[in-house]
Structure 1
Amino acid sequence: MTEQSEWRFSDDRGQLSTAPRRPERVLAYVQAGATLWGLGIRPQEIFGSDHDGPDPDRAKTGTLPLDQVAYVGAGSGLDVERLLSGRPDLVVAVSYGNGHVYGLAPETAKPLEERAPVVVIDVSQARTFEEIGDRFAELARSLGAEDRADADADLDAARERLRTIAAAGPADTPRVLALSPAGPDQAHVARPKMWPELRVLTDLGVHLVEPAPGPGANWSTLDREGTFALRPDVILTDIRAHAAPLDELGWDGGEPVVPWNPEPLYGPRDHARFLGLVADALEG
């Protein structure tokens, strides 16, 4: 594609976005923007969801240079004029299924699409982590990013290291629990099969603790005693701003703790970094 040719990209809703030339002023949902940055594309602006506040959640922004990337707000604080104030020539959003734009109310998303190209990447549990990463990589390449063989090599090495550590463990392999603390009395415990990033760990041989069947598709909400009863050896704890700190739950067992962002970044370097943290915890 030359600089002057039409830019085209078909998103995960099957909708084709076009522009007279390759977009350069990208407004993205924070997760998408941080992922694109890891793939070599710097967004101009980012926005958050209803979980976010007036400032960007540093747990979600990865290595985004926030002194160069403006944060336009989140949730009810967003309207079409606010989103378009930086004159973006492309909006990149995510969806958790059915094509719904995550983080924007329907009455905001619909008129936004009438005034700017919007690309939506499906990050739902119906897809594998690799499939989601591939779609972000395709989008990044369409925006001018170059393939980074060294980043892919780092990810391959991180996967192999974690696989080796998991396989070399004792017969009673370490129990890894992923949770989002909800205060002193309860925690939301992740159902690993519902999270693409956690399924990667399982595929590499890590023993993820599965809470008992019951209410909650993605999480099982347990009281403190019920959470402790799962007897984890390693804890992956939600570090997003709206999650409670783990110590508020009264956890004092001394188990290794890995910071976990349930809205992961899908670039190879970001993913390799997370796998490395899990490997360090299992070795420890």
Structure 2
Amino acid sequence: MTEQSEWRFSDDRGQQSAAPRPPERVLAYVQAGATLWDLGVRPVGIFGSDHDGPDPDRAKAGTLPLHEVDYVGAGSGLDAGRLLSAGPDLVVAVSYGNGHVYGLAPETAKPLEERVPVVVIDVGQTRTFAEIGDRFAELARSLGAAGRADADRDLDAARARLRVVATSADTPRVLALSPAGPDQAHVARPRMWPELRVLTELGVQVVEPAEGSGANWSTLDRSDTFALRPEVILTDIRAHAGSLDALRGSDARPTPVVPWNPEPLYGPRDHARFLGLVADALEAARAR
């Protein structure tokens, strides 16, 4: 082993992983795997969380080629043996703080870490979207991915366009929510979500529900949800979310809708695509 070939990476728990050479077979939580794919790293496998089922959630998977990437399962169906069946030489997971490995029970994470390096990236509320994206980019570079100047330019252009659209006239009211059935919705508190904070920083008027129970969401009935007068709706498109059409009902007035994944992908292309959809929806709402 030479100093040049040795691979080391310190994760957001302060734990350093090392290997004789950069890992090539990466198993990742689906959000991390999709982000790494956008950054130029192809995972050999992905796994889900307790919210996921026997098949991968395409809303979380971004542009991952799911026909080429092994999905090893999710939640209680996962154990160290199942995770290791993909033959990984690195596992990439996420955390929402306190170093807890999201999606894996402690009795699964511990024996896994005894067999293979595990890198955990903190995607919690205390960090900005850019900070999280930088950590994923740093990991991707350590694994041999080349930077993509064109992707960064596309992201810069998407940010600039959205800022102009959001601030050029009266900004339509944007509501981010996760439908919980025909009679209820979980309305996002934008300051608690890194991607929604990006929108507000760029001038988008993301509606803040009233203070109350729920740190990340305010759970409202149908009438209270639409009393917030959304002119654009960001709706949770993860597989376990409810139907926006059922929530709105047949008498709802047309409102531009943006598909929103509350577990965002932090690669520049995916983020630029989302910002572009928001800009399109704001322009459509303003034209009504």
Task: State TM-score, norm by structure 1.
Answer: 0.97
Structure 1: how far apart are the matches of 2:272 and 2:126? Answer: 22
Q: Partner amino acid for 1:200? A: V
Structure 2: how far apart are the matches of 1:86 and 1:122? Answer: 24
Structure 1: how far apart are the matches of 2:92 and 2:3? Answer: 20
Q: For residues 10-29 of structure 1, give each alpha carbon's deviation from its aligned partner in whole angstroms, at most 9, with x where no partner exists.
A: 00000000011110010000
Q: For residues 170-221 of structure 1, give each alpha carbon's deviation from its aligned partner in whole angstroms, at most 9, with x where no partner exists.
A: 2xx2100000000011000000000000000000000000000000000000
* Counterparts of residues 22-41 of structure 1 (less than 5 Å): 22-41=22-41
Structure 2: how far apart are the matches of 1:3 and 1:160? Answer: 42
Per the alignment, do residues 253 and 151 of structure 1 end up closer, same or farther by CA in structure 2, a change over 3 Å counting? same
2:62 alignment partner in structure 1: 62
Q: Partner amino acid for 2:211? A: P
1:226 alignment partner in structure 2: 224
Q: Partner amino acid for 2:12? A: D
Q: For residues 236-270 of structure 1, give each alpha carbon's deviation from its aligned partner in whole angstroms, at most 9, with x where no partner exists.
A: 00000000010111342211000000000000000
- 1:142 paired to 2:142: yes
1:161 alignment partner in structure 2: 161
2:193 alignment partner in structure 1: 195
* 3-state DSSP of counterpart to 1:111: helix
CA contact (8 A) 2:183 2:247 kept: yes
Q: Structure 1 unaligned runs (5+)?
A: none
Match of 1:176 among 174, 177, 180: 174
2:243 alignment partner in structure 1: 245
Match of 1:208 among 202, 206, 209: 206
Structure 1: how far apart are the matches of 2:163 and 2:3? Answer: 43
Q: Which moved more, 1:241-250 or 1:117-126?
A: 241-250
Q: Partner amino acid for 2:91? A: V
Q: Which moved more, 1:244-253 or 1:190-199?
A: 244-253
Per the alignment, do residues 3 and 255 of structure 1 end up closer, same or farther by CA in structure 2, a change over 3 Å counting? farther
Per the alignment, do residues 3 and 247 of structure 1 end up closer, same or farther by CA in structure 2, a change over 3 Å counting? farther
Structure 1: how far apart are the matches of 2:161 and 2:204? Answer: 12
Q: Partner amino acid for 2:244? A: L
CA contact (8 A) 1:3 1:21 kept: no
CA contact (8 A) 2:72 2:86 kept: no
CA contact (8 A) 2:182 2:243 kept: no
Q: Partner amino acid for 1:197? A: E
Runs of 4+ aligned structure 1 residues displaced above 6 Å come to 1-4
Structure 2: how far apart are the matches of 1:58 and 1:192? Answer: 24
- 1:12 paired to 2:7: no
Structure 1: how far apart are the matches of 2:2 and 2:280? Answer: 45
Cα displacement (A) at 1:146: 0.3
CA contact (8 A) 2:184 2:219 kept: yes
Q: Partner amino acid for 1:175? A: R
Task: State TM-score, norm by structure 2.
Answer: 0.96
Q: Structure 2 unaligned runs (5+)?
A: none
Cα displacement (A) at 1:4: 6.6
CA contact (8 A) 2:233 2:257 kept: yes
2:106 alignment partner in structure 1: 106
Count of residue pairs the alignment pairs up: 282
Q: Percent identity?
A: 83
